[in-house]
Amino acid sequence: MDMKVPTVGSLIDKLEALREKKRDAAEKLKVAEAAYDELQQALIERLQTEGMASASGKKATVSLSNTVVANMVDWDSFTAYVKKTGYFHLLQRRVSDPAFRELLEAKGKVPGLEPFTKVKLNHRSKE
């Protein structure tokens, strides 16, 4: 049985077709999320106006909940507080890649981190 190996060009064309499908799906998702967010906000306002904590339809139930979250108003003041108190648990564990690359280039090493080269395929349409 002779199985034909796809050419690089045909694989690129398939990639382009799939990217277009992803773009279409992403646009539909964007529209659906906007409508969902708008309706969700309208329901929140309606429940609050009517003094209700929850309500039900035939297919689902919704309820309001409150969660306190941080709103950054002064980064310098906050970071000084973290440094002074040692409350590093207030920060999420994520390294800034551009800052890491800059420090790596300047210092050659950053304690606790090691460089990893991520390979990425760049893709441009011809049309």
pTM (two decimals): 0.69
pLDDT at 96: 93
Region 13-33: what's the mean pLDDT?
Answer: 97
Convert the pLDDT of each residue in 67-120 to its tens digit: 988 999 999 999 999 999 999 999 998 999 999 999 999 999 999 999 999 888
What is the per-residue pLDDT for 123?
82
Nearest Cα residue to 62 out of 52, 51, 50: 52
CB 47 within 8 A of CB 65: no
Cβ pair 103, 95 in contact under 8 A = no
N- to C-terminal Cα separation, the chain: 37
Strand, coil or helix: 55:
strand
Query: Model confidence at 2, in pLDDT bands (50, 70, 90)?
Result: low
Domain boundaries, the chain: 8-62, 67-118
